């Protein structure tokens, strides 16, 4: 996926709600208890008819991306 495509279409994807969030539970292996949640972004792109993982649109257009914590 070329970076230029992502940069040119990112605003449209956000505006038209093509980006979705999936929540991944993080479970402690010993206790089996839920200890955190991870948010994973996916972009359902109608032009390419594909689901773009976040590695295609988070790394280059948004280089200052930081983890969000509820500390």
Does 19 map to a domain?
yes
**Residues paired with 50 in a beta bridge:** 45
| 1: confidence class by pLDDT, cuts 50, 70, 90 | low
pLDDT tens digit string along 2-29?
778 788 888 898 899 988 888 999 999 9
- Predicted TM-score (pTM) of the model is 0.53
Residues of the domain holding 33: 3-56
Domain count, the chain: 1
Distances 13 to 6, 37, 50 between C-alpha atoms, Å = 9, 24, 13
Does 71 map to a domain?
no
pLDDT tens digit string along 17-68?
988 888 999 999 999 999 999 888 888 888 877 887 777 766 654 455 444 4
């Amino acid at each position: 996926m070329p970076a230029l495509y992502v940069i040119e279409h990112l605003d449209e994807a956000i505006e038209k709600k093509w980006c979705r969030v999936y929540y991944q539970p993080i479970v402690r292996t010993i206790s089996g208890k839920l200890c955190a949640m991870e948010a994973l972004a996916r972009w359902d792109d109608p032009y390419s008819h594909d689901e773009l993982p976040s590695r295609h649109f988070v790394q280059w257009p948004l280089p200052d991306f930081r983890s969000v914590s509820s500390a």
